[in-house]
Structure 1
Amino acid sequence: MKGLNRRLYPIGIQTFSEIREGNYVYADKTDLVYRLTHSDSKYIFLSRPRRFGKSLLTSTLRSYFEGRKELFEGLAVEKLEKEWTSHPVLHFDMSTAKHMDKEDLILELEEKLINYEAQYGRGEGEIKVNQRLKGLIKRAYEQTGQKVVVLIDEYDAPLLDVVHEEKDLPVLRNVMRNFYSPLKACDPYLRFVFLTGITKFSQLSIFSELNNILNISMFPEYATLCGITEEEIREQMGEGIDRLAVNLGVTPEEALKSLKKNYDGYHFAWPSPDIYNPFSLLNALANGRIDSYWFGSGTPTYLIEMLRKFHVIPQEIGNRKCVAADFDAPTERMTSITPLLYQSGYITIKGYSRFSDLYQLDIPNREVRIGLMRSLLPNYVQRPAELNTLVAEMAEKIYNGDMEGALRLMRTVLSTIPYCENTHYEGHYQQLLYVIFTLLGNYVDVEVRTPKGRVDMVLRTPSTLYVIELKLDQSAEAAMEQIDLKEYPERFVLCGLPVVKVGINFSTEKRTIEGWKIEDGGLLSG
């Protein structure tokens, strides 16, 4: 049957040898692996969001340092590496140490050490985990005659759930600091030490002894080390794009544009190629359909709680300008939500000014934007599932140019859904409207500057640009007058789309839209 011999996509497979020995697609990163392992520093840290290929990279390094040349046949490193020396590798996956108290965490670390002590032995008097790790490294070096490689994947996993807890964080952090403490003393026996994680903890808090770790997370030369570029998609995944195109009923180029809109847009350095989320991309190609794969794979409950703690409203999540120290910063002592949003992958670098040294940060793509907004709905209404239905029906009406029908539908639904608390201020309704319009899947912006003021909201569909002004307990006519008075549509003369002006008035008494006014602004020209 056609398709049985196609190459497979490694969904959930994080072991390099399994991918290479099976018939799986692999985006070749081994030229960067070679550069990384022959750089000036042998202590290296890389931060990337969850499910972005950190574990596969760590596994690739393990196979490389074990000298498994056969796995790298046909890859870039085959032409670069001449020796293929086999080193003893201690590979610790800390993702198994989540949601643990101090005692359980120590037991988990001991179990990881036992696996390697079965191979290299355990010295007399080695009781604590730091003593045992130090002994392991030294014996592995003595028994093999080769320097040891230490790979620590998701080093921060035991700490993520308690990162802002004053009671538990110091306790678990001390356990991990104690475990990692021998690395500096073992320097003569070490060839390479590599750590991955999501968050950047302050160096002194975890690696108090190891002060020479090189953080390559924002190095342009390693920007594509995790994630997948469009070039790699075109080279390796053409068959998957063709199948996706058939399922979507579009051309392969249109299918690629859909993948780009939903899963592309990450930059972890500047300059950098666009980086696709590998988890979502591979799932979409394997399943032949667009869906919310990455966002749906882990409900960001903790993130939503932190957004609430820092009083971040939906329209403030993206569109930030800041220096690197504001987002590439330790999360356990952060004073804003920005480091957590960036390091977790909910915002990413979109631009950089060398003059001001400011980075432009924003939500990377449609999947993340819609996933975030859907997660925020419970902040505004008590039955968010009913709004999901509303959004789907509104999207169809707005796509067909029926803004009147969409607002009528919204008024009816909002009047029947119990609101959450704090609804007697204008911002609540503006935020709710922003969330709903964002969920429609179109471009939405708020507080857009014009020569004579700010537009409350701009909604751009493929065929129309809506300039929207909101009022609370006033009138739709007052909203429309403000649009006309400040000549808001003139700001968008170059967009090339017909402009429609929309004035909306919310009623705090009725807790829904009380009225609206819609006027065709025509196709403006310069």
Structure 2
Amino acid sequence: MEQMRKLPIGIQTFEEIRKDNYLYVDKTALVYQIANVGKPYFLSRPRRFGKSLLLSTFESYFQGRKDLFKGLAIEKLETKWEEYPVLHLDLNARKYETVADLLAMLNQYLEKWEQKYGTERQDRSPEERFAYVIERAYESTGKQAVVLVDEYDKPLLQALSDEVLMDEYRRTLKAFYGVLKSSDRYLRFVFLTGVTKFAQVSVFSDLNQLQDISFWPEYSSLCGITKDELVKTFTPEIQGLAAFSETDFETMVDKMTRLYDGYHFYPYSEGVFNPFSVLNACKSKTLSNFWFQTGTPTYLVELLQQSDYDLRLLIDGMEVTSSAFSEYRADARNPLPMIYQSGYLTIKGYDKEVGLYTLGFPNDEVRYGFLNFLVPYYTEVTDDETGFHIAKFMRELKAGDVDAFMERLRVFFAGIPYELSNNNERHYQAIFHVVFTLLGQFIRSEVRSSRGRADAVVITPDAVYAFEFKLNGTAEEALKQIDEKGYLIPYRLDGKRLVKVGVNFSKETRNIDEYKIEG
């Protein structure tokens, strides 16, 4: 029987991974570089992207644990292996409902450090105790301290809908993290991670020397897995996954690329795979939306609704300036920073002449997972019903039953509450966009909103369907536009049946009132 290699699913401790012989994607060359060219760093990455493991790796390095790095890149780079006092604060493991919860977590770590470095300031504020521990760690060891903070923003993220609580958390953390500036002389290294980048004017305003490397090209693959790393590290697992799926190795790599690759944290950087999904796919021998299923973006969808954001921009991709998505603000007028920093959008292109970035879904896992999750918020169609209807949509078009397809589409629009639709064309177009994009999971479906192209083109093994929608017009006008604009001309040589579908929406009924089919 073939021996199963150990995959570190849920293992975030570098020491455990190395001692227990789990697979490890070697990032230690970057760890060495970061640790030796600067001091105070911040890195923003989506959840479950390896941030905790990265900090654990730094912890082992600064503890001088040479034994754990045998055979890794850093072994050839480091010659001293010095030991430093390490203060590692992990804010990820608690639910923060009150300020008392945050203070309890800080107190838990402070008490542990004070037992080692001195309890003389235990009756003071958290920031005073923190400053004292750092100073005493230096004085008692003769070595500057290392401070590692994992998920610094966890309390803030849990209070996004409560401005009063958010302000209390912000004041507490601002004072606590501000110690890292005043204690600079006692610090060898500082590294903070989180999902979001709270603006410099808030939490980090007293820590203005912090280097935010989230957008630096040399560290774009610090968290995540490149394609080379995927093939080098996981070839046996991918071979097993391919065999179980009755396909070949190259085809499986292509499938995994479409599903899990595509995160870009710098315009020209190599894309990286989601490590959580890769590990789970290799372990379970199935391809599924592993990362998306571990957290539901409820708050992000609510932000989209509050902002009346045009969903077509999310689906098609949008051009924005860096400030439109890189700065964090809990602002319903601009939900992009939260959506980007949470990992649901990524950089897909950059026009350096005008300084505009193109944002889009990183891969199919996020695209289809997010849109499926979105549908119930914009219609009364539930999650389970969405998947059922999309599968039926696909079958009906493949069978050439356009009438059944259109009747099913009516179900989606019949469920749109009046207060959501606001009786405007954009909401109907958004739902239409979502439905046809979700079809892309099964058959080729091209959704466009730019002038001069059909609203949607669906390609099945036997036919090409061009859909055109009108609001308070006629189905005949929609058919006429397909002819006049020549939407089907590019497909004439495909040898397939060409079908035109003209559809009209009625503002009064808030649904499809007529459609016509030709071809």
TM-score, length-scaled by structure 1: 0.91
Q: Displacement of 1:510 after TM fit?
A: 6.1
1:446 corresponds to 2:448: yes
Conservation of the 8 A alpha-carbon contact between 2:445 and 2:456: no
Match of 1:356 among 354, 364, 371: 354
1:95-244 residue pairs with structure 2 within 5 A?
Answer: 95-124=92-121, 126-163=123-160, 165-244=162-241
- Secondary structure of 1:167's counterpart equals helix
Separation in 1, partners of 2:361, 2:208: 33
Gaps of 5+ in 2: none
Aligned to 1:524: none
Backbone CA RMSD of aligned residues:
2.5
Separation in 1, partners of 2:499, 2:244: 34
1:386 corresponds to 2:385: yes
Conservation of the 8 A alpha-carbon contact between 1:411 and 1:514: no
Separation in 1, partners of 2:365, 2:462: 22
Separation in 2, partners of 1:477, 1:21: 70
Count of matched residue pairs: 512
Task: Please give the per-residue CA displacement for 1:57-113, whole angstroms capped at 9, x wherever unaligned.
Answer: 111111111111111111111111111111111000111344331122112211111
Aligned to 2:286: 289
Q: Displacement of 1:249 after TM fit?
A: 1.8
Separation in 1, partners of 2:445, 2:127: 52
1:78-97 residue pairs with structure 2 within 5 A?
Answer: 78-97=75-94
Aligned to 1:63: 60
Tell me which amino acid in the other structure corresponds to 2:450.
V
- Secondary structure of 2:358's counterpart equals strand
Conservation of the 8 A alpha-carbon contact between 1:455 and 1:488: yes
Conservation of the 8 A alpha-carbon contact between 2:381 and 2:415: yes
1:370 corresponds to 2:368: yes
Separation in 1, partners of 2:496, 2:49: 37
Tell me which amino acid in the other structure corresponds to 1:210.
L
Q: 1:432 to 1:109 in 2, by over 3 A?
A: same
Q: 1:240 to 1:209 in 2, by over 3 A?
A: same
Aligned to 1:404: 402
- Secondary structure of 1:193's counterpart equals strand
1:243-392 residue pairs with structure 2 within 5 A?
Answer: 243-318=240-315, 319-332=317-330, 335-384=333-382, 385-392=384-391
**Amino-acid identity (%):** 43
Q: 1:498 to 1:112 in 2, by over 3 A?
A: farther
Q: Displacement of 1:489 after TM fit?
A: 3.5
Match of 1:6 among 4, 10, 14: 4
Separation in 1, partners of 2:495, 2:232: 35
Conservation of the 8 A alpha-carbon contact between 1:48 and 1:197: yes
Q: 1:392 to 1:113 in 2, by over 3 A?
A: same
Task: Please give the per-residue CA displacement for 1:170-189, whole angstroms capped at 9, x wherever unaligned.
Answer: 11100111211221121111
Tell me which amino acid in the other structure corresponds to 2:432.
L
Q: 1:237 to 1:316 in 2, by over 3 A?
A: same
Gaps of 5+ in 1: 521-526
TM-score, length-scaled by structure 2: 0.92
Aligned to 1:432: 431
Q: 1:126 to 1:272 in 2, by over 3 A?
A: same
Separation in 2, partners of 1:485, 1:377: 33
Q: 1:414 to 1:46 in 2, by over 3 A?
A: closer
Q: 1:377 to 1:12 in 2, by over 3 A?
A: same
Q: Displacement of 1:445 after TM fit?
A: 2.6
- Secondary structure of 2:386's counterpart equals helix
- Secondary structure of 2:202's counterpart equals helix
- Secondary structure of 1:488's counterpart equals coil
Tell me which amino acid in the other structure corresponds to 1:89.
V
Q: Displacement of 1:288 after TM fit?
A: 0.7
Task: Please give the per-residue CA displacement for 1:378-406, whole angstroms capped at 9, x wherever unaligned.
Answer: 133324232321111222344x3636265
Tell me which amino acid in the other structure corresponds to 1:323.
T
Q: 1:217 to 1:499 in 2, by over 3 A?
A: farther
Conservation of the 8 A alpha-carbon contact between 1:390 and 1:413: no
Separation in 2, partners of 1:244, 1:512: 44
- Secondary structure of 2:477's counterpart equals helix
Conservation of the 8 A alpha-carbon contact between 2:121 and 2:129: no
- Secondary structure of 1:505's counterpart equals strand
Conservation of the 8 A alpha-carbon contact between 2:241 and 2:282: yes
Q: Displacement of 1:330 after TM fit?
A: 2.4
Conservation of the 8 A alpha-carbon contact between 1:201 and 1:332: no
Separation in 2, partners of 1:369, 1:460: 20
Q: Displacement of 1:360 after TM fit?
A: 1.0
Aligned to 1:523: none
Separation in 2, partners of 1:135, 1:476: 75
Separation in 1, partners of 2:366, 2:495: 28
Moved more, 292-301 or 488-497: 488-497
1:504-519 residue pairs with structure 2 within 5 A?
Answer: 504-507=503-506, 512-519=511-518
